[in-house]
Structure 1
């Protein structure tokens, strides 16, 4: 075993290849311009795991992210992240925090959205709350698709998006994130906010 492996643990690509095998997903090796990634199919949806680099001018910050495009039926959007100093500052600046009716959960997270009733229905699903609570850090939201994969998405397609600083190499945590995406996408269908169709096919 190499000295670097002893010091820093297994390489990201080694872990992600193992992840792909265990969840029956596709591991796509990166090249000079592109990072490696893992793509898993959940019914008609594709959940993609990759890393993203942001330059601050003096340094590069690496993020781990997961994204899944889907057809947003009613424009429902939400964002959830753990409470902390900046979240409390945001509340003082007027950011709206919605309580979804589960005190232990509400105490841990800032939850925002454009439909309070849909937020409450989404987080009524106990598995979704449990999987979110398992994440030591989380920023999860529905936002506009950003043209990733050089694909032009239909106008009603949004994406479920997760992003945190650093490279996640914990297989159990990554499996939990894929499960979380599956649970949320299915729940969005149940509450009338998503279609279980291929998001890259125009609806009639």
Structure 2
């Protein structure tokens, strides 16, 4: 998304806009219950057979501090995930048949991720987003360096630029819903 569009989105969600800098894309920040949520685009440059190929992602991140280590990854099933499962990829079942049928869930703590996904609001919010890649990661900005011990990020990314403000707002609502559930579970530091 262009800087002007991010600036308009910041107004739309009552957030703050930061202009593009040499190494950093334009971004929008918003605060929800003392948690910073950051929206931006991230471009990956790859060289394939001496040709540079770029892929731009929309990502949304919020830094967190957990009381104990907790990671997960949730994404929609595809033909590729079905093949990976045949070769031993672990998939946690939540006990919610329709949700389990549509999503791959991986975590270092099956109990906590089931507790998170036991919330109908969290499941509904995840289901509302078509191209979802949602995780708790200890890497900065999903693909960056390792974060300091005890730090993690709730991260969303999509393999394209999202220009629709309503779709971006759905992601913001997803983050609010998950943060609320984390507080109910008493697993994050405020």
Normalising to structure 2: TM-score of the pair? 0.89
In 2 relative to 1, CA 34–76 (structure 1 residues): closer, same or farther, beyond 3 Å? closer
**Highest CA radius of gyration, 1 or 2?**
1
* Matched residues, number: 185
Query: Is the aligned partner of 1:113 residue 2:103?
Result: no
In 2 relative to 1, CA 35–136 (structure 1 residues): closer, same or farther, beyond 3 Å? same
Please list the CA deviations of residues 174-203 of structure 1 after superposition, one character each: whole Å capped at 9, or x if unmatched: 0010111111122112223212x2xxxxxx
Match of 1:129 among 123, 147, 159: 123
**As a proportion of its length, which structure holds more strand?**
2
Query: Is the aligned partner of 1:36 residue 2:30?
Result: no
CA contact (8 A) 1:67 1:161 kept: yes
In 2 relative to 1, CA 153–24 (structure 1 residues): closer, same or farther, beyond 3 Å? same
Please list the CA deviations of residues 28-64 of structure 1 after superposition, one character each: whole Å capped at 9, or x if unmatched: 1113432100111111111111111112213111111
Cα distance in 1, alignment partners of residues 146 and 118 from structure 2: 34
Query: Is the aligned partner of 1:138 residue 2:132?
Result: yes
Aligned equivalent of 1:160: 154
Deviation at 1:146, TM superposition (A): 2.0
Normalising to structure 1: TM-score of the pair? 0.83
In 2 relative to 1, CA 126–74 (structure 1 residues): closer, same or farther, beyond 3 Å? same
Cα distance in 2, alignment partners of residues 161 and 146 from structure 1: 10
Please list the CA deviations of residues 121-145 of structure 1 after superposition, one character each: whole Å capped at 9, or x if unmatched: 1011112111111111011000104
Moved more, 41-50 or 181-190: 181-190
Deviation at 1:120, TM superposition (A): 1.4
Instruction: Note the residue ranges of structure 1 that are not aligned, 5 or more in a row.
Output: 1-10, 198-204
CA contact (8 A) 1:147 1:153 kept: no
CA contact (8 A) 2:125 2:177 kept: no
Cα distance in 1, alignment partners of residues 79 and 184 from structure 2: 35
Match runs of 1:189-200 below 5 Å: 189-195=183-189, 197=190
Aligned equivalent of 1:65: 59
Q: Which runs of 4+ in 1 moved over 4 A?
A: 150-154
Deviation at 1:105, TM superposition (A): 1.0
* Secondary structure, counterpart of 1:56 in structure 2: strand
RMSD of aligned residue pairs (Cα, Å): 2.1
Match runs of 1:38-117 below 5 Å: 38-57=28-47, 58=51, 59-117=53-111
